Amino acid sequence: MSEVKKMPAHVAIIMDGNGRWAEKNKVSRVTGHNQGMLAMKEIIKKADIMGIKYLTVYAFSTENWKRSQEEVGGIFSLLVKFVGSELAELSSNNVRVHILGDYTDRVPQAAVASIEKALETTRANDGLQFNIALNYGSRAEIVRAVKKIAEQVKDGSLEPEQIADEVISANLYTGDENGNIPDPDLIIRTSGEERLSNFLLWQAAYSEFAFTDSLWPDFTPEEFENIVTEFCSRNRRFGGR
C-alpha cells in the first residue's frame, strides 16, 4: 500500500531558458525575460493555491553580471515593472516577499527602491513566502556567513565549539534575517540543464530534483502541479533506511 506523502513545504525553481525561448521565437532576449516574468506570475498563484508555504525563484545570479549591459538593464527594468503591476495583488493575497542575495550591490537604484517597497508593503503578511534570489550566489552566501560567524567569535558572543549546522544555516540568507526558511524539499530546473549553477548549495543537501526540458516561459501551472504531485510519491530517506 502506498502511503500518502507530504506536500513540499518549500519549492525552489531555477527559471532557465528565457534566452533560448527568445531565440526560438525570434525576439530579443529581454522579450524572453518578459515572457519568463509572465510565467513566474502564474506559478506564484498556483503555488499559493496548492498551499505551498515557501516558493523561491532564482532570478539573477552573481555570475549573471557577465551578460551585456542591455540584457542586465532589461532584467532589472522588468523587476521594476513586476513590482509596479503585481505588488498590490500579491499583498492582498497575503504573500510576503523576501530577497536572498545582496540586492543593494551593483543593482540599479530604481530596482533597489522597488524591492524595498515590496519588502515594506508585504512585511506583515503571513501567507505564501515568496523568496527572490537576486544577485544571489551560494558561494558568496557561504563566504558572507563565514565572515559573520568569525565576527561573532571575535567579539566573544560565540565559541568555536558552538559552531554547528544550525549556526551556519542561521547565518545564510535563508537564515534568521529572512525568517529561517526551511531547506527546499524540491528544486525544479527548466530548460533541460541539469546543474545547480551556484544555487542553494548548503540548503540542497537533501533536496529532491526535478528537471524538465520546457523553457521557462513555456512552463505552465499544470506542469508545476504534475511535478509536485510526482514529488509527493518519492521516498526520501535522509540517510536512514
Q: Which residues bind Mg ion (CB under 5 A)?
A: 16
CB < 8 Å & 24+ apart, contacts of 26-32: 29/71, 29/74, 30/70, 30/71, 30/74, 30/75, 30/78, 32/217
Active site residue 34: no
**Parallel/antiparallel/unpaired status of strands 54-61 and 129-136:** parallel
Residue 197 binds to ligand IPE (criterion: CB under 6 A) = yes
Other beta carbons within 10 Å of 143: 11
Going by C-alpha positions, the residue among 109, 168, 172, 115 that lies closest to residue 140 is: 172
C-beta of 64: minimal distance to Mg ion in Å?
9
18's contact among ligand IPE, Mg ion, none, with CB below 5 to 8 A by partner kind, is ligand IPE
The β-bridge partners of 96 are 129
Q: Which is nearer to Mg ion, 19 or 184 (CB)?
A: 19
Residue 193 found at the interface with ligand IPE (CB under 6 A): yes
Which of 18, 34, 48, 64 is the catalytic position? 64
Is 16 a known active-site residue? Answer: yes
Q: Which is nearer to ligand IPE, 20 or 45 (CB)?
A: 20
Spatial distance between the Cα atoms of 211 and 13, rounded to a whole number of angstroms: 10
| Site map 26..65 versus ligand IPE, x via CB under 6 A | --------------------------------xxxx--x-
The span from the CA of 170 to the CA of 154, in Å, is: 18
Q: What amino acid positions are annotated as catalytic residues? A: 16, 64
What is the contact surface with ligand IPE in residues (CB under 6 A)? Answer: 14-20, 58-61, 64, 75, 191, 193, 195, 197
